Amino acid sequence: MGTLVVNYTPPNAPPSVSITSPVDAATFVSPADLTIQATAGDSDGSVAKVEFFVDAKSIGSVTQSLTPSPPPVPWNPCPDRRGHG
């Protein structure tokens, strides 16, 4: 009788990222110097990079010290456009 070997690779779970600062719906008076802080994790792997975008333009990224949370990314300036810079 032969041997049957079945190999199964579970699907890769996506990473999760949550912005923790500034809080949702925060408002600022222009000009404003902001710091963006987030937490990132991956239940079945690791997070190599966190990148922040405003209007499809990168405003900064973090590739080191992602555990337990990436260091803050400064965002300067923030003109008076409903929080978008």
Decide if 84 is inside a domain: no
CB 20 within 8 A of CB 43: no
pLDDT of residue 48: 83
Q: Tally the domains of the chain.
A: 1
pLDDT of residue 64: 63
Decide if 5 is inside a domain: no
Structural domain containing residue 24 = 16-77
pLDDT of residue 29: 80
Decide if 7 is inside a domain: no
Q: E strands within 30-72?
A: 32-41, 50-54, 57-62
What parts of the chain have a pLDDT lower than 70?
A: 64-71, 77-85
Q: What is the rounded distance in angstroms from the CA atom of residue 54 to the CA atom of residue 80? A: 14
